Chain A
Amino acid sequence: MKYDVHTKVQPVVTGDALPKVRPELTTKGQHMSGAEILLRSLEAEGVKIVFGHPGGAVIHVYDEMHRIKPQFEHILVRHEQGGTHAAEGYAKATGKVGTVLVTSGPGATNTVTGIADAYMDSVPIVVFTGQVPTGLIGNDAFQECDAIGISRSITKHSYLVRDVSDLARTVKEAYHIARTGRPGPVLVDLPKDVLLAKGPFVYPETVNMRGYAVPAEGRVEKLERAAQMIEESERPLFYVGGGAVNSDSSELLTDIARHTGIPVTTTLHGLGAFPEDDTLALRMLGMHGTWWANQAIQHCDLIIAVGARFDDRVTGKLDSWAPHAKVIHIEIDQSCISKNVFADCAILGNVRNVLEQLRPMVKPKDTTEWLKQIDVWRQECPLKYEQDGKLRAQGVIENLRDKTNGDAVVITDVGQHQMWTAQYFRFLHSRTHITSGGLGTMGFGMPAAMGAAFGMREIGSSRPVVCISGDGGFVMNAQEMSVAAAHKLPLKLAVINNRFLGMVRQWQELFHKERYSHTDLSDTNPDFVKLAEANHCVGLRATTPEECRQIIDEAWKVTDRPALMEFQVAKEEMVFPMVPAGAATGEMITDRMTPNSFV
């Protein structure tokens, strides 16, 4: 079973997703240190960028990096959590695997939040953690922690490399696991003595894991059943999640929806998979989804779930969600099927493969009546906010959209601004909306935007990278601003400052009788303009709609460093519509005047 490092396999990697290997790396059995094997393996894997932070356990890796000048860029982040989020942002923007390199102990524990975030949101990253020498493991050595144990339930898989001859194979497998199937984080723990030991380097050509299968095509009889269910339905609805983005199925999905005339609603992570300016687009569903998307869910007779996992923020109270709908579930992760909502027809497979198979099997449908009904709901309760001449977060987001015509990579943090961005930005392209959905990690936005900007630079894209965040979350990883500045990334950092932990404040107002316990940040917020300037960025501030447009224009003129725009907005603003946690989707609070039985 063990891969034989002495075989004559030439590591020529095939497949379009896999990079070409530099010929000088194929020298059979060349002896080198584990640290160099690690770096050479990353090169062979086609890694272009590593987000890392050195320390005692990985000092030899950094030493070899200094000596051999590998074919990838190393970005020195200022906190390991920032590094993992940057790798996530990079991975989500480019579709490639993000790479993180940190030391043992605190280096490893600082990556935990980012790893958990990647696990919940299916982001492919590989995290290399240093570890104390194998002989000291379990001895409570300096900077020792059981990284494998700590990360076990938040990784797709993890490895402790005990022998230098296993190292190259392990790297190969780690990237394979992270990238394929439902993507996810993989942790590789590297004891110091393994990095020092010498061994032959051959990067394997293939992986051989008998327990790991990657679903691709769906079963034909299931597809036939699905096609028949679509044919028989009167009020069908596509419910599209992050799987459509991860499998790059956006165009295919758009084609099928337009061909059949079936409307499309997307989850938070599905935003961008279907152009939101299309007449068939119902925008986002769920807790802060649109009224009409949620009404459509409650009244449809068929849900075609595409790479989505029926999260509780989507369904609300499960028992009363979509009470009339049969469910077709196209999904790559078998554990998501019938987990929350029973799938009448479950198609296990890669979303792209399955949609390709399904395309010739479905016919155009007459959905006029159904779309007409949805339009009634659309008129009934449109997205709206008060237009009283004050600066409001929703207005800021609309201004940012107008500035970019919706063609930007938008990264958000977590909270009210995240939901307003989802509601008001109108995403048109796949991989242009990056957020922390499953774990809801405040502090995700700034470093993830930095990672996305590195990704855009690598693929030569001119799409601007815009980070929209709140004053609470921005401060949590603001230290990475100076890294972005050092690398001259023209990031646009919008901080929606309401001097409150706004989403918690909203719940306190709605469900806790206005007891604003520890959500007021006005005493502890930094001066954001000075914070930007201290980190070698441009700092701008707006307090009125006119200033808002002005500073956006000014920020877009900055091309050699990040520009932070602080928008001071009213603290009372709330995200509507809203399905209270645990309530039925049919019972939305649409504004402050809605009678609210949850208070």
Chain B
Amino acid sequence: MMADTLVLTPQQIIRKKAAGEPIQPDDSEMTRKHTIVVLVENSIGAFIRVINMFSARGFNIDSVTVGPTEDSSVSRMNIATVGNSRIIAQVLRQLSRLVDTIEVTDLTTTDYVERELCLLKVCYTKDSRSEILDVSDIFRGKVVDITKKTMTFELRGPSQKIDAFIDMMLPHNIVEVARSGRVAMQRDI
């Protein structure tokens, strides 16, 4: 086969930079998280087509949320995905060309707010109870249910905060975690 030690022409370097690909083999891949908002026709078929596009073309989905908007004929999907700039550009173009998508925005390139909701049920004992409540207080969690053995917390915030909260709760015998996935919105300037 061919040697991989090609000397790149200036044009090849331009292409690699545009694709977000490493120019030297030891360059780290420039992948990052992206939050994409897609407005689609409010139908199951439209939703499935969007998700299907990701699987059919081998793109990643970290999380997806979907719900109606102020216009009942339009649904809003928040899709969290990972990729380098070439992959994300492809994702955006492939989404835009679907007949049922009305608007496609990559919020990552803009200023935006992002929230996730998490419900977390954890076992407590007499000894651990106060520590669990302390952690919850620090993260501004709210107790929404309590039984003799378990407590259920509600927590809102950016995904990293929820990651950190779950991390802190891990030693305490978590029974169940339900996360909503990221929802996001652009800030107005």
What residues make up the interface of A, taking CB atoms closer than 8 Å to B? 1, 148, 152-153, 156-158, 160, 177, 209-212, 317, 319-320, 322-326, 333-335, 337-339, 341-342, 344, 583-584, 587, 597-598
- When distances are taken between beta carbons in the complex, the residues of chain B under 8 Å from A153 are 52-53, 56
A339 CA to B11 CA, complexed, in Å: 16
Asked whether A338 lies within 8 Å of B86 as measured between CB atoms, the reply is yes
Q: Are B2 and A342 in touch, CB under 8 angstroms?
A: no
Contact B101 A152 (CB under 8 A): no
A334 and B56 CA atoms in complex are apart in Å by 18
Q: Give residues of chain B (48-67) contacting chain A, Cβ–Cβ below 8 Å.
A: 48-49, 52-53, 56
Q: Is B166 an interface residue (CB 8 A)?
A: no
Given A152-B52, A211-B41, A211-B102, A335 and B15 contact (CB-CB distance below 8 Å): no
> Does B135 touch A at the CB level, under 8 Å?
no
- 0 or 1 for each of B1-19: is its CB under 8 Å from A? (1 = yes): 1100010110110110011
Contact (Cβ within 8 A) A323 B9: yes
Q: Are A323 and B11 in contact (CB under 8 A)?
A: yes
Interface residue? B168 (CB, 8 A): no
Chain B residues contacting A156 (CB-CB under 8 Å) are 99
B101 contacts which of A158, A211, A337 (Cβ < 8 Å)? A211
Contact A324–B9 (Cβ < 8 Å): yes
Give the B interface residue count (CB, 8 A): 32
Contact assessment for A335 and B99 in the assembled complex, using a CB-CB cutoff below 8 Å: no
Q: Are A319 and B6 in contact (CB under 8 A)?
A: yes
Other A-B pairs, 14, CB within 8 Å; known A210-B102, A335-B93, A344-B14: A156-B99, A157-B100, A209-B99, A211-B101, A211-B102, A320-B6, A323-B11, A324-B9, A335-B90, A339-B90, A342-B15, A342-B18, A583-B2, A587-B2
B166 CB to nearest chain A CB (Å): 35
- Enumerate 12 A-B pairs (CB-CB under 8 Å) in ascending A order: A157-B100, A210-B102, A320-B2, A322-B11, A324-B11, A326-B11, A334-B96, A338-B19, A339-B93, A342-B18, A344-B14, A598-B1
Say if the beta carbon of B45 comes within 8 Å of chain A: yes
Contact B96 A325 (CB under 8 A): no
CB-defined contacts of B147 to chain A, threshold 8 Å: none
Q: Are A157 and B6 in contact (CB under 8 A)?
A: no
Point out the residues of chain A lying under 8 angstroms from B96, CB to CB: 334-335
Which residues from chain B contact A344 at a C-beta distance below 8 Å? 14
Give the residue of A210, A324, A342 whose beta carbon is less than 8 angstroms from that of B19: A342
Closest chain B residue to A584 by CB distance? B2
CB-based closest 7 A-B pairs: A153-B56, A342-B15, A335-B93, A342-B18, A157-B99, A323-B9, A334-B93
Contacts of A334 in B (CB 8 A): 93, 96-97
